[in-house]
A = this chain, B = another copy of it.
């Protein structure tokens, strides 16, 4: 019919972005940051997040999330601080090193976006963004 399935095309695109960002972060000297750690770290907010929430958003068990946070903590990317609102919980917050790595990742993300825009033109890029956002209503149970 109309060529490859959009799902496959999205997979290719998503893999490309992840690879680009990972390469950039590693090249910037953060060599101990694995893709899985990065995926977990991507959920971090300024005001901290609970391990359980990371797990839920990333669709992994809290044990897996906890192990990844362990690694991130050991490598100095994050810290665990007590949650003032709930004595059972602890908040995962970015440490300075994590903040630096995140800046590199965001910069690369923007670079990829610029390249795509240059390749597609502003119009088609906007159409892509629009369609993807709209699709999210169907494909993302978190929203």
**A residues lining the B interface (CB < 8 Å):** 2-18, 109, 112-113, 115-116, 119-120, 124-125, 127-140
Contacts and interface: CB of A to CB of B under 8 A. Distances in A.
A8 B142 CA distance: 13
A56 to B, nearest CB: 15
Contact of A11 (B10, B115, B116): B10
Contacts of A128: 6, 127-128, 131-132, 135
Given A120-B134, A131-B120, A135-B119, A13 B16 contact: no
Interface-central residue, A127, A132, A134, by most chain B CB under 10 Å: A132
A113 to B, nearest CB: 7
B113 A6 contact: yes
Contacts of A112: 7
A3 B135 contact: no
Given A10-B14, A119-B138, A127-B128, 19 more contacts: A3-B129, A6-B113, A7-B13, A7-B16, A7-B17, A7-B109, A7-B112, A8-B14, A10-B132, A11-B17, A13-B132, A15-B139, A116-B135, A119-B135, A120-B135, A124-B127, A124-B134, A127-B131, A128-B128
